[in-house]
Chains A and B, each alone.
Chain A
Amino acid sequence: MTGLTGFAHPWLLSGLALLAVPILIHLWNRYRFRRVRFAAMEFLRESQRRHRRRIWWEQLLLLLLRCALIALVVIALARPQATGSLASLLGAGGTTDHWIVWDDSASMGQEIAGTTPHALAKQRILDLVDELSRQSGQHRVTLLRSTQPSLPLADRELVDRSLVNSWKGLVESVSLSWESTSPALALQTIDAALAAGTPAAIHILSDFTRKDWQEDIQTQEAARRLDAKTVRLRLIDLVTKPADNVGIIDIAIDRSPPAAGVPFTATVAVRNHSNRAVSRLTVTPRWNGRALPARVIDEIAPSEEKLASMELIASTAGVHELAIQIDADPFVADDVRYAAIMTPDTVPVLLVDDTPDRRESMYLALALAPGGDAVTGVAPDVRNSAEAASLDLSSYRSIFLLNLPKIDREWGRALRTFVQEGGGLAIFMGDQVNSAQYNEVLGSAEISLLPGPLLTTPLVDRSSPDEEGDLRPADDPLWEPLAQERNSYLQTVRVDRYWQVDEKNILPSWKRVLNHRDRSPLWMASNQGKGRVLISLTSAGDSWTSWPQNPSYVVGMLRLQDFLSSPVVDRPESNLGEPWNLRWNLTEYRADATLRRPASSEITEEPLRAQVDGTSASITVAGIATPGVYRVQQTRADGTTRERGHAFNLDPKEGDLSKVGKANLEEIWKGIEFDYITSSERDSWRGPRSLEAKDAILMILLLILVAEQALSLRLGYHRRDH
């Protein structure tokens, strides 16, 4: 509906009777004239004859202007209520759109003086609506949460007294989100919905953290666009001084995935976001819901991080939940953090060995799976290259090529794909290797699994070994477990034959992991896609080196296996609010799946239906708002199931509660006009930035008054003595 909908004080319209005044004055003036006996009537008569029509019109116009003056004053006092285009014509005297952006990101849950900014925002919103209900003109309010601006809590609702009451329940029911979302999205949503020139105001209730307001360029850009639309931007700062906060920012494990029964180490990173040192901080791990002995961090300096490590072991295969809790502080959201650890029964590893006696793989298989009490979780599968070519490589975590004479181009491509998707590949050389064929296939630009061209013949070392042996490990985490044993065991290792790489043409993405005494590289590694590749220029068996007969060989190979099977980027973890994307092959698993939420959530299970594209299926789990470990159970074609776990945690950046003040905002938002209201100030609405109704009417009044005066002067009503 567009047009005039009524008046705030309709009884004042009776003042329109005053319109009779200028008419009466006009008539009165016709009889209140001065008399002049005049001689030159002839010329007066002639002038009157010529100008009679013009004078009549001027008189009429003057009368109408005076009537209009009175009418406008009366209408302005009666406060017209308008909608649509008439409202825009009258400025805010019509309807003003109010957009309330409620920052419900996790940082709004920090406890300050017994309350939280989130709770303060509730009261502020109710106060604002109450204030608007008492103001003149029409007001429509839209309530958006910064984390979900596309789902407004209220959409353009007309403000009246009943709305104030109904909003009490609405606002009270809104709980804090655990997400970390800047206001940019909300401002962009408003920008898209708001036409330029509409009388509007955006009230942003936030804690104004530095992360969202200073570092987020999109927020500034959106604000600038809204400013260009002459929207009144009102920043209501609910935090005077942010709380001191210490939070967990990361949980890392040293190998992925650790097999059932294999011990692994989890390392927790804790950051002190405050300006004061924190001492005696307790870190409590819970493994599958069972509390483990706590660690204590003695002290964390301001703005510093400290690590706490703990040895864990998954006794069974499947998804395991590690929850770390630290001492509670005013911001509890980052005092707990979760990690999902998926342990298989075993880690399948493919060893490809074409030697008749499998001598190349014998030592390696033994090192990876010694048997007896030594549980490594690794299950070596030894095959020759002909068998390996027909295997589904994706079922292995890592593949070892052991002294293979040649590699088919097609299989080379399969290996390349295997690595790109997260697999680990180790290429061990030996006397059977045809270097030219390797260069042609693995060294090709298409496959690119070599650090550089291999030279034509292996180098034979005939020199006498020194007392440190032939191995020189590079500075790499791979060798950490051997660091203290290097002197005793590695010193005795002899490598008397190895292939050489054209060192002038080594690709920059490759690094040395192990060198020969003569500084030639023996092991080189590279991250490729999501996976890893390592090339050993000497043999895995004992044909070219004595290492397989050395005790350090077992440790070295297990570390190599861990290195290869740890995905480079993928960790089963997301920030709250971010999606969890799953893809699988329909030949392996059915299209339907089940989402299991953490036990603390109300809904513990919900069915999922995958998007099917040919033989692949995909699911996106979105809208996760509660931290914890979530699991998706899939069913294989044979009816057996498997579970995949994913931890959802608060964005660690959200724990930094430092904020921007008014001065910062003025600098960041240079050129943007905004009101800044602190939590201690009373928020009083002064109307939109665009022309107000009374301003518009007053301006029209002024124009009419000027016109009336000009016309009066012209018509001689301002008498001057002569």
Chain B
Amino acid sequence: MTSDLPPSLDPEIVRRVESLEVRSRSIVEGLLAGRHASPFRGGSADFAQHRPYAAGDDLRYLDWKVWAKSDRLYVREFEEETNLRAMLLVDTSPSMEYGQGDRQKIAYAQQLAGSLAFLLLRQSDSVGLIVPNDSKRNVPLRQGQGHLRTILATLLTGGAGTPRGLEDALVRPLDRMTGRGIVVIVSDLFVDRERFFLGLRSLRERRHDVIVMHVLHPDELDFPFEGTTRFEGMEDDEAILCDARGLRDGYRQSMQSFLTEIRQRCGSLRVDYRLCRTGEGADVALASLLRERMRS
């Protein structure tokens, strides 16, 4: 398995790639157990062969002409089921490093992105990766399971990128993505919101299907701190010394306003939005996302 990875890769990264791959596989297979249809569907495919209908097959793929002629139910199978192009934008700004272990936002984002990549590549879609805060780590759109490792290795390689690169990434790197596709943004959205939504609008105007996976740590949502605390910014040198409990209510109000604004503006742009609390499992977040998309 390791042969698909660049030989210069740090063995630790290799180990983590493999670990992430296993987890992604586990998550996706768990999600798709018994499910035969993907919520991510391509627009056309080349016919390969007929096979007898089995219970549970999508009726859309029944070949009615064969049935009319032979009075037997056959399902049409295609050489390639998709020509979908999916670009993953994973925010690696310093703010994404908040938290520890599985609850670290960046780790959670990697897991989400890896799982999605696995899911999409598994159905022969083209998947690319953009690391907005580090343009050198962008991975172009490709197909095939071997591409998964490249994506995973890219996700895990390198530290935090520069702050506030997401807004730009929505415009320039995606310019090269021709035709309709899916853009999945995984971020804590501590960005310039006006520019961010400008970018989203641009994507939507180019008829891309956009999904925002909003990753936040429980501390950021609940602000459970108490006592005298010096909060030091992760993306700048700002520091605030305060009595944490005294500021809690005001913080929560501000956070709530932020989430409401994000949700509303995504809704107005017909962008799929999902708030992911790093405490909850990535499978739960993905299941929820898949359910929403199946419904739409």
Q: Which A positions have Cβ atoms within 8 angstroms of B? A: 29-30, 32-48, 50-51, 54-55, 58-59, 714-717, 719-720, 722
Contacts and interface: CB of A to CB of B under 8 A. Distances in A.
Contacts of A37: 98, 231-234
Interface in B192-247: 217, 219-220, 224-236, 238, 240-247
Nearest to A56: B246
Nearest to A32: B228
Nearest to B226: A716
Contacts of B224: 722
27 contacts: A30-B241, A32-B228, A35-B232, A36-B232, A37-B232, A39-B94, A39-B190, A39-B220, A39-B234, A40-B95, A40-B220, A40-B255, A41-B231, A41-B236, A41-B238, A41-B240, A42-B190, A43-B254, A44-B242, A45-B240, A46-B254, A48-B247, A714-B245, A715-B243, A716-B227, A716-B246, A717-B227
Interface centre among A39, A47, A722 (most CB of B within 10 A): A39
Contact of A39 (B95, B227, B258): B95
What band does the interface of chain B fall in when counting residues whose beta carbon is under 8 Å from A?
A: 35 or more
A54 B246 CA distance: 9
A30 B228 contact: yes
A30 B226 CA distance: 14
Contacts of A717: 227
Question: Which 8 residue pairs of A and B lie closest in terms of their CB atoms, listed nearest first?
Answer: A716-B245, A47-B250, A39-B95, A43-B254, A33-B228, A722-B224, A39-B98, A716-B226
B247 A44 contact: yes
B245 A38 contact: no
Contacts, number: 113
A719 B244 CA distance: 11
A42 to B, nearest CB: 7
B231 A38 contact: yes
Contact of B98 (A38, A43, A715, A719): A38
Contact of A29 (B228, B247, B258): B228
Contact of A36 (B95, B230, B248, B251): B230
B232 A33 contact: no
A102 B94 CA distance: 91
Interface centre among B188, B229, B230, B247 (most CB of A within 10 A): B247
A33 B241 contact: yes
Interface string B79-113: 00000000000000011101000000100000000
B245 A44 contact: no
Contacts of B3: none
B251 A44 contact: yes
Nearest to B217: A39
A43 B232 contact: no
B238 A34 contact: no
A43 B225 contact: no
A441 to B, nearest CB: 107
Nearest to A34: B229
Contacts of B268: none
Contacts of A715: 243, 245-246
B178 interface: no
Main SS of the interface on chain A?
Answer: helix
B253 interface: yes
Given A44-B231, A55-B243, A720 B250 contact: no
Interface string B252-276: 0111001000000000000000000
A45 B255 CA distance: 11
Contacts of B95: 39-40
A32 B230 CA distance: 10
B231 A59 contact: no
B190 to A, nearest CB: 6
A627 B243 CA distance: 87
Nearest to A45: B240
B79 to A, nearest CB: 46
Contacts of A29: 228
B122 to A, nearest CB: 33
Given A43-B254, A717-B227, A58 B246 contact: yes
A715 B225 CA distance: 12
A108 B71 CA distance: 135
A716 B255 CA distance: 20
A33 B234 contact: no
Given A34-B229, A41-B235, 9 more contacts: A32-B228, A37-B233, A39-B98, A42-B254, A43-B254, A51-B247, A59-B243, A716-B243, A716-B246
B47 to A, nearest CB: 51
Contacts of B220: 39-40
A708 to B, nearest CB: 15
Contacts of B251: 40, 43-44, 46-47
B210 to A, nearest CB: 23
Contacts of B188: 39
Given A716-B246, A722-B226, A36 B231 contact: yes
Nearest to B105: A39
B229 A51 contact: no
Contacts of A40: 95, 190, 220, 251, 255
Contacts of B243: 55, 59, 715-716
Contacts of B242: 44, 48, 55
A94 to B, nearest CB: 41
Given A40-B220, A41-B238, A35 B230 contact: yes
Contacts of B238: 41, 45
B167 to A, nearest CB: 15
Given A39-B188, A55-B243, A50 B250 contact: yes
Interface centre among A38, A48, A50 (most CB of B within 10 A): A38
A235 B259 CA distance: 77
Nearest to B238: A41
A51 B246 contact: yes
Given A37-B234, A38-B234, A41-B238, A47 B228 contact: no
B151 to A, nearest CB: 25
A39 B235 contact: yes
Nearest to A51: B250
A38 B228 contact: no
A34 B230 contact: yes
Contacts of B232: 35-38
A710 to B, nearest CB: 13
Contacts of A46: 250-251, 254
A483 B243 CA distance: 115
B164 to A, nearest CB: 12
A722 B244 CA distance: 13
Nearest to B241: A33
A35 B231 CA distance: 6
A54 B258 CA distance: 24
Contacts of B247: 44, 47-48, 51, 55
A39 B246 CA distance: 19
A597 to B, nearest CB: 88
Contacts of A59: 243
A214 to B, nearest CB: 67
Contacts of A41: 231, 233-236, 238, 240
A32 B249 CA distance: 23
Nearest to A47: B250
B188 to A, nearest CB: 6
A722 B220 CA distance: 14
A50 B242 CA distance: 13
Nearest to B98: A39
B74 to A, nearest CB: 55
B253 A47 contact: yes
A715 B247 CA distance: 9
Contacts of B249: 47
B246 A36 contact: no
Contacts of A34: 227-230
Given A33-B230, A55-B246, A715-B245, A44 B240 contact: yes
